[in-house]
Structures are given as C-alpha cells and as structure tokens.
Amino acid sequence: MIHFDNVTKVYANQNRPALDHVSVEVDKGEFVFLVGPSGSGKSTFLRLILKEERPNSGAIHVAGKDLARLSNFKVPHLRRRIGCVFQDFRLLPNKNVYENVAFALEVIGKPRRFIRKVVPEVVELVGLEGKAHRMPDELSGGEQQRVAMARAFVNRPMILLADEPTGNIDPATSIGIMKVLDRINRTGTTVVMATHDAAIVDSMRKRVVELEDGKIVRDQSRGVYGQAY
C-alpha cells in the first residue's frame, strides 16, 4: 500500500536530511505507529505520502502509484484515496458537524443525494450521533477530533494518515479516539499514525516504526513506544 525505497529528503537551506535513505513497506490493512522525537522526520514521512513534498532521491509508491510519475494534475485523485487527521483538527468554525463532513464530499463534486446518505453514517461511526448540528466551538477537543476523523474517512480512503491525533486531547478521551481509529482500521483501511503518546502505543500493540534523525532505528511488529533495554 505504501512503499518507500531508499527515500532521502533534504529541505532547502538545511544540511541535515529530514529523511535519510528510508526504506519501509506498509501493507494493506496494517496499523502502523510512527514514533520518534520531534524533528525525527515523522511529518516529512506523512507529507511525502501525500505528495506535498518531493523526495530528493528514492522512490515512493502509494496505492500502486509511483509518485514520481504522478502528474500534478492527478495529485488530487491520489489525495482522495488518503484521509488525514491532525493535532489541531482543522475544522471550519462556521460550519456545523454535518457541514464540515459534507464539505469534503462537496468539494470533490459528489452528488447531494450521496452526501445525504453517507455523512450521517460516518458521523455515527465516530460516535457523534445526535450532535450533527453542533458547531465546532460547542464540542470538546475529543469530539472535534472525531469530526475530523469522520471528514477524513467519509470518502472511504484506502489509507488514513494521523499526525499526532491525540496531541491536544487528555488521556481518557484519547482512548475513545484510538477506538475510532481501530474501528476504521478494521474496515480494511491502512492507518499510519505519528505520535508521541507512549501509553497509547504500548496499549495498542501494533507495528511500531521508530525514526531518529531521519533514519529508521526500529521496525517492530506488536511493539511498544520505548525500546526495552
């Protein structure tokens, strides 16, 4: 599903590469934690998958497509197959829950009838039934993140990228968020989650890829956050 082959990314005006000869393979339906200190290259990894950045060398395949050969014209179609969730939710403050989720379908030109059918389903899937007409500022942080997840998942992407989704949320609420991510993963969606949250990684027992200074220092199935010495 996601295949990195010897990928190096150096940002302009920086000597140290953000990713340094990274090779990794993520299969369809996998759940992968991406861990490592700030600046270790986690966000760069996610941005490369979205083709928001281009690697300086190496090849990236996402959903069977070679990103280097993907024309700019087709990048939107790639992104339609990838959902994204962020630490800061990125909801539209002037739209309610339903409208925020529907927006993702409206802007890719889905017919209204389809939107009316699928949005309530997804809102229910993330556990926000009955709150479809709340505005984002009437919701808790955890609920806002659920809206963001509904928006990321409403188009049934093959891959869900989550960049520190629990970063702004207290531990108790984070468990609920992880349950939703797990539910999404069980539908066959590949999930890649970058995180600092050791408790969550340890409790989930999923594959862990650890980055440090742009290099993969650990790739462990059913791993924990910190290496046990």
Residues that bind other proteins (CB under 8 A): 50, 73, 76-84, 90, 92-93, 103-104, 106-109, 112, 151, 155
Residue whose CB is less far from other proteins, 90 or 179: 90
Work out whether strand 19-26 and strand 2-9 pair parallel, antiparallel, or are unpaired.
Answer: antiparallel
Residue with Cβ nearer other proteins (51 or 206): 51
Three-class HEC string of 145-213: HHHHHHHHHCCCCCEEEEECCCCCCCHHHHHHHHHHHHHHHHCCCEEEEECCCHHHHHHHCCEEEEEEC
Give whichever of 80 and 196 is closer to other proteins, judged by the CB atom: 80
Distance of closest approach, residue 191 Cβ to other proteins, in angstroms: 17
Measured from the CB atom, the residue of 93 and 130 that comes closer to other proteins is: 93
Min dist CB 89 to other proteins, Å, is 11
The two structure tokens encoding residue 185: 């993963």
| Burial grade of 161 (CB within 10 A; 0-12, 13-18, 19 or more) | buried
Instruction: Give min distance, CB of 79 to other proteins, in A.
Output: 4
